[in-house]
């Protein structure tokens, strides 16, 4: 489709889990999509099915380096490692990406007059002292801990967005994304859904950190992408939570994964990592009210395609995690 409302849209981090699904969605809507990615945690495989689409372009670049001069209508700024093992591997790189990458993306938005959306995170709430978390909660974050490179990087990115809107008139949107899962997550990225599903499919013990009573919310990727697109199209210039308010303990998730995979896996326990939040659940009333958005997928409905994806990955040599990283 090439309609008069066709936009040219930059997705930084487009080769990642969320970015590649977002590129799919934007291409389906008939837009021109440019993915800018350095394959730090993303995979070329995530773009394989898009490569022959004339509306799709890939720029291999580090968002923290000076960016090419692009004429674009919108920027979805997603580039940043998202899982703890990845962002803790090199905290300096993570902070560089969050700080310089966000500054570069905002400068590009300013130069080209593009609207820009930040993929922020529930981690800006840290280990929250109020529950569930609303957007007006300021958070309980350790600036000197192992998660600080990510949490404080994203908080600074939000502050950079706010400052560029206030001082330079950049048209900003901020999504605070809560734990999202689905096909194309990396099998070894250390997030709880991918960990459990891969362990269950391999018949390995399912590793629960702590006693498993800590809770998480799980949003299916299609729901999240719908929320991002609605937020971008809205006139909401303040942070908006996007996530699934259904709250499950980690033990409940493990039991569901074992049942749905038909696995014989046992459950093993390891100590809880430091700064691991006890409870996490979004209050999404702002998104419901202002974007008319709420998740449509139950955890069971989303786990189905996720398990099917990982079944293929586990049984195939063509594993995304084994791809050479640029």
Ligand X SMILES: NC(=O)c1ccc[n+]([C@@H]2O[C@H](COP(=O)([O-])OP(=O)(O)OC[C@H]3O[C@@H](n4cnc5c(N)ncnc54)[C@H](O)[C@@H]3O)[C@@H](O)[C@H]2O)c1
Q: Which residues bind ligand X (CB under 6 A)?
A: 13, 15-19, 37-42, 62-64, 78-82, 97, 101, 119, 121, 177, 179-180
Catalytic residue among 87, 125, 150, 181: 150
Report the residue number, 221 or 263, with the smaller CB distance to ligand X. 221
Q: From the CB of 203, what's the least distance to ligand X, in Å? A: 26
Structural contact between residues 61 and 97, judged by C-beta atoms closer than 8 angstroms? no
Report the residue number, 6 or 90, with the smaller CB distance to ligand X. 90
Q: From the CB of 107, what's the least distance to ligand X, in Å? A: 15
Report the residue number, 123 or 199, with the smaller CB distance to ligand X. 123
Active site residue 150: yes
Q: From the CB of 262, what's the least distance to ligand X, in Å? A: 26
Residue reference for tokens 């609303």 = 134
Q: From the CB of 220, what's the least distance to ligand X, in Å? A: 11
Report the residue number, 89 or 267, with the smaller CB distance to ligand X. 89
Q: State the catalytic residues.
A: 150
């Amino acid at each position: 489709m090439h309609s008069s409302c066709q936009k040219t849209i930059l997705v930084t981090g487009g080769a990642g889990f969320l970015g590649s699904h977002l590129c799919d969605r934007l291409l389906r809507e008939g837009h021109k999509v440019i993915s800018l990615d350095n394959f730090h945690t993303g995979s070329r495989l995530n773009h394989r099915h898009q490569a022959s689409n004339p509306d799709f372009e890939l720029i291999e670049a580090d968002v923290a380096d000076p960016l090419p001069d692009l004429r674009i209508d919108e920027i979805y700024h997603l580039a940043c490692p998202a899982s703890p093992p990845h962002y803790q591997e090199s905290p300096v790189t993570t902070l560089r990406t969050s700080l310089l990458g966000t500054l570069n993306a905002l400068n590009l938005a300013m130069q080209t007059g593009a609207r820009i959306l930040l993929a922020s995170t529930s981690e800006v709430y840290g280990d929250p002292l109020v529950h569930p978390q609303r957007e007006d909660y300021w958070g309980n974050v350790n600036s000197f801990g192992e998660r600080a490179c990510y949490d404080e990087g994203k908080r600074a990115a939000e502050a950079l967005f706010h400052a560029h809107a206030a001082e330079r008139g950049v048209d900003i949107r901020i999504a605070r994304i809560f734990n999202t899962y689905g096909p194309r997550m990396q099998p070894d990225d250390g997030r709880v859904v991918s960990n459990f599903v891969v362990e269950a499919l391999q018949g390995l013990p399912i590793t629960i950190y702590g006693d498993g009573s800590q809770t998480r919310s799980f949003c299916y990727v299609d729901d999240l992408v719908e929320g991002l697109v609605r937020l971008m199209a809205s006139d909401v210039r303040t942070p908006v939570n996007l996530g699934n308010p259904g709250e499950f303990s980690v033990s409940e998730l493990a039991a569901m994964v074992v049942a749905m995979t038909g696995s014989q896996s046992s459950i093993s326990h390891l100590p809880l990592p430091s700064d691991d939040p006890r409870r996490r659940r979004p209050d999404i009333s702002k998104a419901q009210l202002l974007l008319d958005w709420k998740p449509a997928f139950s955890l069971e409905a989303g786990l189905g395609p996720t398990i099917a994806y990982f079944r293929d990955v586990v049984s195939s040599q063509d594993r995304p995690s084994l791809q050479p990283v640029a």
